[in-house]
Amino acid sequence: MFSFLFGYSFTIQLDSAARKGVPFGRRFGRRLIGLAMLGLAHGLLFFSGDILMIYALAGCVLFLVRNWSPGRALVVAGGLLLLTSLIWVFLAFGAIQDPDSFRDDPASLTRQSKELEAGYSSSDPGEVLDTRAGDLAETFFLLLLIQGPSALAMFLVGLAAGKTRALHRPELFEALWIRLLFTGLLAGVPAAAFYAWSQNGPPTDPARELFGLSADVLFAPALAGAYLAAFVMARDTRPGSWLIERLAPAGRIALTNYLFQSIALSLIFTGYGLALVGRVSPGVAVLIAIGVFLVQTAISAMWLKRHRYGPAEWILRAFTNWSWPAWRATGR
């Protein structure tokens, strides 16, 4: 959904540049460079699974196809998801034929896990940075292969939706929201359950993980579409409008909150702070994640009462426009 909104907001930026009569390419190029720089700092300091650098690369492709029609963008997005899913299926059948070629050595995995845990929990910030840098180098290209095609596909879906103004005029697309909701739930929920089951199987069954990854690539967009449709359809109901009103501030500064989560959780789990990595149960980790998000929603609402943008949005906007944006909501 975050990738979809990136593509949708791209069309808003295109329209804004056209209305103001300003060149778009140079500004968007600076935006992508700024995004990549934020992502690199984020990946090195707080979270090796950063997505912003991948967004910057995929954003280059999005710029090149900005004039595509909505229909063409949707067809290519669907083809990209299908092709990526089929590649994982092909690899899964390869794992069935020769599982040893796809199977990680349990002893090696245990050793790597202990090394990461020791590095992240170290009281020496330099050692934490070294651990994260090594982790980033190992994971970036894997994430590019796994998340890159899906992110680009959803950029294209967002591009198509933005060109049809689907979220600007949601009342004109009521039938679409209903179809998205029911087909997304019917296809997305079983696929998500299968994916969760497949990733928690024995390490001796790599084919199971690859089949699960294939299902996730193909059907996760359907589930995201169901979530989106549910919020759009709930916007005019009292409970829905109440919920959206409370979540909206966090959504308005989504980039800041994305980075803030990593900072907060790094302070909780790594040697930067409490060093709780490997010391809490999965259930406690989930409660911590929920607690961090609830704090974020409250801080976001308070911040936007006095400021126009989140801190990260302000930095990215300054780099994009090559000028200082207003800091306070009053324009001072």
For 7-34, what is each residue's pLDDT tens digit? Answer: 999 999 999 999 988 889 999 999 999 9
Q: What DSSP designation does 172 have?
A: G
pLDDT at position 137: 83
Along the chain (332 residues), what's the average pLDDT of each consecutive run of 10 residues? 95 93 93 96 91 96 97 97 95 90 72 82 84 86 89 97 95 94 95 92 81 95 95 92 94 96 92 88 94 96 95 95 88 48
Contact (Cβ atoms closer than 8 angstroms) between residue 211 and residue 163: no
Cα 216 to chain centroid distance, Å, stands at 14
* Encoded amino acid at 35, one letter: L
- Torsion angle of the four alpha carbons 112, 211, 188, 10, in this order, in degrees rounded to the nearest 10: 70
CB atoms within 10 A of CB 205: 16
d(CA 302, CA 256): 14
pTM: 0.90
pLDDT at position 98: 87
pLDDT at position 332: 47
CB atoms within 10 A of CB 79: 12
* Phi and psi at residue 46, to the nearest 5°: -130, -35
